[in-house]
Structure 1
Amino acid sequence: MNDSDTSAILPEEFAPSVRDETPDADASSLDADMPSGSPVRCGRPPFPCPLPVSVEPVLFLCMFSLALQMPLYTQYLWDRISEDLGYNGTKAGGCQNSSGQPDPLEKEVATQTARWSLYISLAGFGVGLVVVTLLGSWSDRVGRRRLLVVPSLGLALQAGVYLAVMYLRLGVAWLLLGRLLSGLSGDFNAVLAGCFAHAGDTSARRSRTFRVAVLEATLGLAGMLASVVGGNWRRAQGYINPFWLALACNLAAALYAWLFVRDTVTPDPGARLLSGEHHRAVLRLFGPRGKGGRGPLLWLYTLCFFLVVLVHSGSRELYVLFELSPPLCWGPQMVGYGSAALHLAYLSSLLGLRVLQLGLDDSWVALLGLASNCAALLVISNAATTALMFTGYGLNFLSMASTPVLRSKLSKLVESSQQGALFASVACVESLCSLVASGVFMSLYPATLHVFKGFPFLFGALILLIPASIIGAIRCREMRGAHDGTS
């Protein structure tokens, strides 16, 4: 099947990604909706994929691998440190009332597990922060395919190191090596940057928000599947086999990216990876001299994205603790149902966004998504029964519609030659959100537990009023400017 045949069967959102390098009348009409300065489409993969997908399989496989590993390596840390310290007890559930004194050895195990988890997270974040901005800007000159292959192989190395630690019974400090290797390749943030930059390259402006939402729904679907598979598999067969699957997923993602993902940038033979120009390109992007005076808008939308993802990450970490403790006292099965209901918001938000776009501007869709998130957090903060908790999850059905809108608005503010640098920066912001959310919400929960258990969720709802106000103000200003221009 040739490219022209492929284009005929693809939906409009994906059509630009499979255009022939020789422009024709149809391609020119599509280019009218692309940002100015769009790079020449090139880089035919060895085996062009005839299906209406491009980078979705890469994102799915890497996200599935990551979501599968994260809870398992934390549990492995707990078990290994318990074994090293000679602790044979089990972690008490939140609904078990015991009048005895807490075991000091269990406290030491919990402390060391938390400490090593922090070390591993900070190692990956610190190294990845520098590397992902380097790789993102580099991909603007050499193509997106390499930006997808390199971090996928790095994530495979990380899984390989974890397996070596388990097989050889090495100290937990060796887990740090795997995280550093992944960080040196850009980590999962580089995969995010490559996938969203590819979407920015290949989608028309009018369909970009939905194209980005498809990628975010892919993240949710992979996370939901991994959360269901990981815990049950670990109980049945231990840690090693799930990590073999994680390794295979990352290798498959790298192979798929190299063989099937079409490059969207004309490679520059003189582009060097180790160059300070890549980081300077990121600084120029957000500098005061941004093209057309768009620097302030970039900062405002980035702030909105930071606050929204901060609440998403912080509340997600607390849901399980909230469900395990009184008065809900959920067991593992109910926690799994709750996790599945939470991840379903990705799919329902995708459907809701598609329907709402038929009659509303993207900004109003984002505001409705924030309203959905606020309503869900308010209900969950007061949830004392299972029915009320799932009511909160139901109200969350449109909560993930705001982030694709914000990503799309950021993408439309920059040139096509800056998409890699932009989404590398956005990925770093997203990673920073996870660290800040852990510090803020995990500190707030025990501090307010005996006053108002659901206060962190109420706090999250209040934070969301800030991006809602900014988005609403920018949209009202745009409408006023359009009215003045036509009057």
Structure 2
Amino acid sequence: MDDNEYDSLGATEKGPNEKVPLIQHGTSRYKPRCPITVEPVMFLYFLGTVATAPLATQYLHAKVADDLHFDPVQYHSNQSEDISICLLNASDPVVKMEQLVQEISSGWLQKFSLATMIPAIIVTTFYGSYSDKGGRKFCILLPCVGSFIKNVCNIIVVTFKLDIFWLVITCVIEGMFGYYATILIGGMSYIADITTEKQRAFRILVLEVMLWLGSAISQVIIGYWVKADPTFLGPTVFITVLYGVSALYTFFLITETVEKDPEARFFTLDNVKAMLLMYARAPNGEDPSRVWKIRTLCFTMLFGTMSLVATSTVDVLYELNFPFCWTSTKIGWYTAAVSVATQVAGLLTLPLFKRCKMPEPVIMMIGTMSALLWKGMVAFANHDWEMYVAGGLGVLGILLVPVLRAVMSEQVSAHEQGTLFASIASIDCACSLLGGVLFSTVYEYTVMYYRGAVYLTMVGMYTIALIAILYYFIRSSRERKQNMVKKSCFSVHNHDDMCVQVTAFPEPKET
């Protein structure tokens, strides 16, 4: 990379081979030649990743049913129509067999989540901090390669109809390469490097839209493809190609934004220590209040994102089940419709809210309330139209995550962005792991009695997140007002009596 590409970047010498960038607020670390940077690779990667969830769920459902010698097609009188067990009485043995298939499938989905997320959480703690010194491309490329290897193995499993257990092994392989959490570290840190604080929330939203757009397209494609190719081989090959293209794009077309430190080490406890210290204390010269802010936002993310990243497989089972009994095609169109509506709503409303000077915590609360209403209505839905209305209520839920990430990014310095997003990615992994196990378990044990219980669990989590955001908003607003009083007090000369009220509220220095 040319030296002149690093604009707004100064350096002070600390040693013979060490430089520390001095990046002022309101400036970016690096200006790329092309405004389109990591968005295409994020789109391609998540197009494949999101497509994998319903594909794996439907393959697992079909595989378990085949192992149990259960074929619902033979019980349907009209072969020209989509197959639906909803035409049968709830007490029919076929319906009960379908419930058994769902229970077993849900159990395997738990194993898939554990096999992927446990290794991903471990390696993610190293990847993020390393990217601050070793470069961002590493964190973007590695998950693409890992997912490519996994899906090559999946092709073998599907082709030779191997035991389901082999899919658990492929999940472990993908997790060891960091999975989607690591590519989020690279992508989000890259965006933080090339944007100012004012630009960051919208650019992160654009990145989120790439994820949702990939979700919408993949759901429609997979829905039709599974119906046309019940062997599942074609869609698996397609996903493998997507990962291969994303890896090639990253390797050849993404320009590095970080000057690599030759002394940077990957497997070192210093990387983990840096991430933990971020939540323990502020560095010298930084605002001490950032510690409680990061902790509160971290807590919010834990409960606010769990229902977003860990429900796709449960959603598919829920929609396949009575009383909806949707086909793979219908599931695809529903997911695509909700995704497109969500993207449009997010791209239109966030700039509008920012233009109206709406505080970022308020935007997060709006997003949380929208998602809460969505899951709450799904819990009680019995008709198709109710599912679509629920999706409409949740279109502003997309605002929560990008704004939350942007606010967290604003709390730390430029050379801590990778470490911060590593912690965020670890939270995402933990949410996916805990949420996947929790929601699959709740659904497994309640589907026979009350199928909507799992969505009421999600409503409870969004409620906790909403309370945490409200706490953050009230406390940060109070501190901001007190700091303004303190600042105005010191601007008045020779009026010590005006400073009495400030001494009663000792607050950290404003950044």
TM bucket (normalised to shorter chain) is 0.7 to 0.9
CA shift for structure 1 position 236: 1.7
State the alpha-carbon separation in 1 of the partners of residues 206 and 249 from structure 2: 19
Q: Does 2:410 align with 1:394?
A: no
* Equivalent residue in structure 1 for 2:411, among 409, 413, 434: 413
Q: Is the 8 A contact 1:444 1:456 kept in 2?
A: yes
Q: Does 2:273 align with 1:280?
A: yes
Q: Which residue of 1 aligns with 2:508?
A: none
Structure 2 unaligned residues grouped into runs of 5+: 11-21, 76-83, 486-511
Aligned ranges 1:91-240 → 2 under 5 Å: 95=86, 96-97=88-89, 99-101=91-93, 113-237=105-229, 238-240=231-233
Once the two structures are overlaid, the 10-residue window that deviates more, 474-483 or 269-278, is: 474-483
Deviation string, structure 1 residues 119-157 (Cα, Å, up to 9, x no partner): 332122111111121111111111101111122111111
CA shift for structure 1 position 325: 4.9
CA shift for structure 1 position 196: 0.9
CA shift for structure 1 position 21: 2.9
Q: Which residue of 1 aligns with 2:248?
A: 255
* Equivalent residue in structure 2 for 1:61, among 5, 30, 44: 44
Q: Is the 8 A contact 1:315 1:456 kept in 2?
A: no
CA shift for structure 1 position 261: 1.4
**Amino acid aligned to 1:467:** A
Q: Is the 8 A contact 1:94 1:324 kept in 2?
A: no
CA shift for structure 1 position 60: 0.8
CA shift for structure 1 position 114: 4.2
**SS of 1:292 mapped into structure 2:** coil
Once the two structures are overlaid, the 10-residue window that deviates more, 167-176 or 135-144, is: 167-176
* Equivalent residue in structure 1 for 2:336, among 314, 324, 340: 340
CA shift for structure 1 position 34: 4.5
Q: Does 2:349 align with 1:352?
A: yes
Deviation string, structure 1 residues 11-41 (Cα, Å, up to 9, x no partner): xxxxxxx97235599xxxx954358xx8x64
**SS of 1:97 mapped into structure 2:** coil
CA shift for structure 1 position 408: 0.8
How much is the aligned-residue C-alpha RMSD, in angstroms?
3.3
State the alpha-carbon separation in 2 of the partners of residues 61 and 104 from structure 1: 39
CA shift for structure 1 position 346: 3.3
* Equivalent residue in structure 1 for 2:261, among 242, 264, 268: 268
Q: Is the 8 A contact 2:106 2:441 kept in 1?
A: no
Q: Is the 8 A contact 2:45 2:246 kept in 1?
A: yes
**SS of 1:357 mapped into structure 2:** helix
State the alpha-carbon separation in 2 of the partners of residues 103 and 326 from structure 1: 9
State the alpha-carbon separation in 1 of the partners of residues 407 and 196 from structure 2: 13
Query: Cα distance 1:162–1:213, how it changes in 2: closer, same or farther (>3 A)?
Result: same
Query: Cα distance 1:391–1:123, how it changes in 2: closer, same or farther (>3 A)?
Result: closer
Query: Cα distance 1:174–1:450, how it changes in 2: closer, same or farther (>3 A)?
Result: closer
Query: Cα distance 1:375–1:89, how it changes in 2: closer, same or farther (>3 A)?
Result: closer
Deviation string, structure 1 residues 351-389 (Cα, Å, up to 9, x no partner): 211211111121111112122223333444443443333
CA shift for structure 1 position 189: 1.3
CA shift for structure 1 position 455: 4.7
**SS of 1:262 mapped into structure 2:** coil
Aligned ranges 1:1-12 → 2 under 5 Å: none
Query: Cα distance 1:78–1:464, how it changes in 2: closer, same or farther (>3 A)?
Result: closer
Q: Which residue of 1 aligns with 2:59?
A: 76
State the alpha-carbon separation in 1 of the partners of residues 33 and 350 from structure 2: 27
**Amino acid aligned to 1:258:** F
Once the two structures are overlaid, the 10-residue window that deviates more, 382-391 or 310-319, is: 310-319
State the alpha-carbon separation in 2 of the partners of residues 363 and 312 from structure 1: 19
Q: Which residue of 2 aligns with 1:89?
A: 71
* Equivalent residue in structure 2 for 1:477, among 470, 475, 484: 475
Q: Is the 8 A contact 2:70 2:97 kept in 1?
A: no
- Count of residues in Structure 1 that have an aligned counterpart in Structure 2: 458
Q: Is the 8 A contact 1:141 1:267 kept in 2?
A: yes
Query: Cα distance 1:373–1:203, how it changes in 2: closer, same or farther (>3 A)?
Result: same
State the alpha-carbon separation in 2 of the partners of residues 319 and 169 from structure 1: 26
CA shift for structure 1 position 281: 1.7
State the alpha-carbon separation in 2 of the partners of residues 68 and 365 from structure 1: 29
Deviation string, structure 1 residues 398-451 (Cα, Å, up to 9, x no partner): 111011111111111122222222212212211221232234334445666687
**SS of 2:287 mapped into structure 1:** helix
TM-score, length-normalised on structure 1? 0.83
Query: Cα distance 1:19–1:175, how it changes in 2: closer, same or farther (>3 A)?
Result: farther
Once the two structures are overlaid, the 10-residue window that deviates more, 338-347 or 131-140, is: 338-347
Once the two structures are overlaid, the 10-residue window that deviates more, 431-440 or 300-309, is: 431-440
Q: Does 2:6 align with 1:21?
A: yes
TM-score, length-normalised on structure 2? 0.79
Query: Cα distance 1:276–1:88, how it changes in 2: closer, same or farther (>3 A)?
Result: same
Aligned ranges 1:367-382 → 2 under 5 Å: 367-382=365-380
CA shift for structure 1 position 198: 0.9
Query: Cα distance 1:478–1:117, how it changes in 2: closer, same or farther (>3 A)?
Result: closer
**Amino acid aligned to 2:155:** L
State the alpha-carbon separation in 2 of the partners of residues 214 and 434 from structure 1: 22
Q: Which residue of 2 aligns with 1:12?
A: none
CA shift for structure 1 position 333: 4.7
Deviation string, structure 1 residues 88-124 (Cα, Å, up to 9, x no partner): 5249956232545469987886665444433332122
Deviation string, structure 1 residues 167-210 (Cα, Å, up to 9, x no partner): 34444333333222222211221111111111112110111111
Q: Is the 8 A contact 2:309 2:428 kept in 1?
A: no
Query: Cα distance 1:79–1:326, how it changes in 2: closer, same or farther (>3 A)?
Result: closer
Query: Cα distance 1:228–1:482, how it changes in 2: closer, same or farther (>3 A)?
Result: same
State the alpha-carbon separation in 2 of the partners of residues 351 and 390 from structure 1: 21
Query: Cα distance 1:460–1:198, how it changes in 2: closer, same or farther (>3 A)?
Result: same
Query: Cα distance 1:169–1:382, how it changes in 2: closer, same or farther (>3 A)?
Result: closer
Q: Is the 8 A contact 2:224 2:329 kept in 1?
A: no
CA shift for structure 1 position 315: 5.7
* Equivalent residue in structure 2 for 1:307, among 288, 292, 303: 303
Percent identity among equivalent residues?
25
Query: Cα distance 1:166–1:378, how it changes in 2: closer, same or farther (>3 A)?
Result: closer
Deviation string, structure 1 residues 41-66 (Cα, Å, up to 9, x no partner): 49xxxxx864x211111111111111
CA shift for structure 1 position 79: 4.2
